[in-house]
């Protein structure tokens, strides 16, 4: 696209007045702080906003706006000149940008893959805003975000989606399109935003014992370097359905394992790599993850660490505690294979959260003026027993909380002892929907809490629903398990003052595009009475 065509498109998109403001010279903006190598007036022969826009980490007075300049997303450096360059942004009270309330400029730096993180504050609480970016003579798509209600304000309803596990090769991201169509206050992405594995090739392979041919393919081999991870993020971010979901509402994101490597734990991977070498890979993955997510600067990796556990509150209705179940956990028992772990998992020194995060969580889970508390995390808390297909042996996952039973006992014991009948857990990772009551060791008695575990966006392809031996056996072994299905989708949570409703949304197909979403099952939790009831 020529320079003149770019400029005409920009004028049409923004209007002459707004375009004139955003295209004004940048030298005065950065004044003495301008880098010596600043490219003040970049020009692009392709759209630099091909990876879309996003917002996240909302607070009562602001949120983070995100974009990345990448005219050739899968090329090294995204096809960018390796110099910092200015990006203008606007924030409005309406989608038509008739009432612009903020505007400014940020630097897209090559050290951060020419991504932009704009942290806004001082905004009005509890209301939506619309935003857009301009770089050179190119304009971004428009995104919608929202601030949280004021602290302590009465709030009667919050709606949010729980989703993750989006293997690029295993289906269309139609579930993200359906999420974008929902009227939501926020999205919680529980993890596995990308998968680190190599291109599996064009031929047929087995998936869960069934023939499968990849719908679309990864580029290159397994990823290790910073540039590898950047290009994999760009591949995933290029999907239009995923972009629509990012642009529709603010997100809270957490990483799980595949953003780095399958089933990693603290400084260990599944291959026995020396920790000092694996930490180099983890640091590269963390940097690329920060670059591509709408995260605050406090989450920027430092010395190989990311600060990811944090809280947010929606007035007096809901406090969400977002956890990090990877960075501080003890290594899995038995080489992260499922099994019957016996007393090993009851070792009190074994931790899922690490001492500091566990104390932080317990301190936050105390009776207060909030109607509900959400524990938003990555892996299943339900301690499910499963029957191994080849031997019939009853096993549990070493990668979920069932491999860390002492830590699980401490968490559920704390909720019980605090007398909190208003705690609900949301999680994912298992590529199936699970809705479960949570009991101490799954024994007798009343539920202490409950869990909605969201299935995958694509991982596992179309799936088989409930018509398989694994589902039937797992349901029979776990009486506290209220629903389970091997289909793709998301969980829609609708929280009011007296009830928390969870809808298990599924799509019958993801290997063909644009399938509708339907509700597989719904459950309701009554405030003060933990446990799932059919909805």
User: pLDDT band for position 1 (50/70/90)?
Assistant: very low
pLDDT tens, position by position, 174-207: 999 999 999 999 999 999 999 999 999 999 999 9
Of 85-89, 252-256, 314-318, 466-470, least confident by mean pLDDT is: 466-470
User: pLDDT band for position 439 (50/70/90)?
Assistant: very high
State yes or no: pLDDT of 264 exceeds 80.
yes
* Per-residue pLDDT at 21: 55
Beta-strand ranges (E) seen in 81-197 are: 85-92, 100-108, 115-119, 128-135, 138-139, 143-146, 157-163, 186-189
Q: What is the average pLDDT across 371-375? A: 98
Q: What is the average pLDDT across 87-116? A: 98
The DSSP string of 55-113 is: EEEEETTEEEEEEE--SSTTSGGGG--SS-EEEEEEEESSTT-SSEEEEEEEEE-GGGT
Give which of 487, 485, 483, 436 is closest to 459, Cα–Cα: 487
State yes or no: pLDDT of 84 exceeds 50.
yes
Beta-strand ranges (E) seen in 278-380 are: 310-314, 318-322, 372-376
Q: Which residue has the higher pLDDT, 344 or 261?
A: 261
User: pLDDT band for position 5 (50/70/90)?
Assistant: low
If one counts every other C-beta atom within 10 angstroms of the C-beta of residue 243, the result is 23
pLDDT tens, position by position, 454-512: 999 999 999 999 878 888 899 999 999 999 999 999 999 999 999 999 999 999 999 99
Hey, what are 325's tokens?
Answer: 């179940």
* Per-residue pLDDT at 3: 47
* Per-residue pLDDT at 482: 97
What residue has token string 């992405």?
A: 189
* Per-residue pLDDT at 524: 98
Could you give phi then psi for residue 138, rounded to 5 degrees?
-120, 140
Hey, what are 439's tokens?
Answer: 């009991």
pLDDT tens, position by position, 508-526: 999 999 999 999 999 999 9
* Per-residue pLDDT at 19: 52
State yes or no: pLDDT of 107 exceeds 70.
yes
pTM check: above 0.85:
yes
Q: Which residue has the higher pLDDT, 253 or 18?
A: 253
**Cα separation, 499 vs 503, whole angstroms:** 13
Of 18-22, 237-241, 243-247, 478-482, least confident by mean pLDDT is: 18-22
User: pLDDT band for position 2 (50/70/90)?
Assistant: very low
Work out the percent of the chain whose per-residue pLDDT is above 90. 85
If one counts every other C-beta atom within 10 angstroms of the C-beta of residue 426, the result is 22
Mean pLDDT computed over every residue of the chain: 94
Of 18-27, 103-112, 369-378, least confident by mean pLDDT is: 18-27
* Per-residue pLDDT at 444: 81
């Amino acid at each position: 696209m020529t320079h003149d065509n770019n400029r005409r498109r920009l004028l049409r998109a923004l209007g002459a007045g707004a375009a004139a403001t955003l295209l004004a010279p940048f030298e005065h903006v950065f004044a003495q702080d301008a880098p010596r190598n600043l490219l003040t007036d970049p020009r692009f022969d392709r759209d630099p906003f091909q990876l879309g826009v996003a917002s996240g980490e909302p607070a009562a007075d602001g949120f983070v706006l995100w974009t990345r300049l990448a005219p050739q997303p899968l090329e090294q450096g995204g096809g960018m000149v390796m110099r910092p360059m200015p990006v203008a942004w606007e924030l409005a009270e309406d989608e038509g940008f008739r009432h612009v309330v903020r505007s400014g400029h940020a630097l897209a730096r090559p050290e951060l893959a020419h991504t932009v993180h704009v942290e806004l504050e001082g905004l009005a609480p509890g209301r939506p805003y619309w935003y857009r970016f301009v770089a050179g003579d190119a304009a971004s798509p428009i995104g919608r975000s929202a601030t949280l209600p004021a602290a302590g304000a009465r709030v009667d309803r919050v709606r949010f989606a729980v989703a993750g596990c989006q293997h690029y090769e295993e289906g269309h991201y139609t579930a993200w399109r359906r999420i974008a169509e929902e009227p939501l206050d926020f999205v919680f992405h529980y993890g596995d935003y990308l998968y680190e594995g190599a291109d599996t090739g064009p031929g047929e392979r087995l998936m869960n014992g069934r023939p499968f041919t990849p719908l679309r393919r990864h580029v290159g081999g397994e990823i290790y370097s910073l540039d590898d991870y950047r290009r994999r993020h760009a591949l995933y971010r290029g999907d239009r359905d995923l972009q629509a979901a990012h642009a529709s509402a603010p997100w809270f994101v957490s990483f799980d394992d595949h953003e780095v490597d399958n089933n990693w734990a603290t400084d260990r991977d599944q291959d026995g790599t020396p920790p000092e070498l694996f930490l180099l890979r983890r640091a590269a993955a963390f940097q690329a993850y920060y670059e591509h997510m709408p995260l605050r600067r406090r989450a920027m990796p430092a010395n190989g660490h990311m600060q990811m556990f944090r809280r947010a509150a929606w007035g007096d209705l809901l406090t969400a505690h977002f956890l990090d179940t990877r960075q501080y956990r003890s290594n899995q028992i038995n080489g992260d294979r499922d099994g019957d772990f016996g007393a090993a998992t009851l070792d009190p020194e074994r931790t899922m959260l690490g001492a500091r995060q566990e104390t932080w969580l317990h301190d936050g889970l105390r009776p207060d003026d909030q109607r509900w508390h959400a524990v938003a995390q990555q892996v299943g808390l339900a301690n499910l027993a499963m029957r191994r297909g080849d031997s019939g042996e009853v096993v549990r996952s070493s990668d979920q909380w069932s491999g860390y039973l002492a830590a699980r006992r401490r968490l559920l014991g704390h909720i019980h002892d605090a007398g909190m009948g208003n705690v609900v857990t949301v999680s994912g990772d298992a590529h199936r929907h699970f809705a479960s009551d949570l009991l101490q060791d799954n024994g007798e008695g009343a539920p202490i809490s409950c869990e909605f575990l969201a299935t995958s966006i694509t991982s596992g392809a179309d799936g088989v629903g409930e018509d398989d031996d694994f589902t039937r056996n797992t349901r029979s072994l776990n009486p506290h398990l209220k629903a389970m299905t091997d289909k793709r989708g998301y969980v829609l949570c609708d929280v009011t003052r007296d009830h928390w409703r969870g809808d298990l949304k599924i799509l019958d197909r993801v290997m063909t595009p644009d399938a509708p979403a339907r509700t597989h099952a719904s459950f309701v939790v009554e405030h003060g009475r933990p446990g799932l009831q059919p909805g």
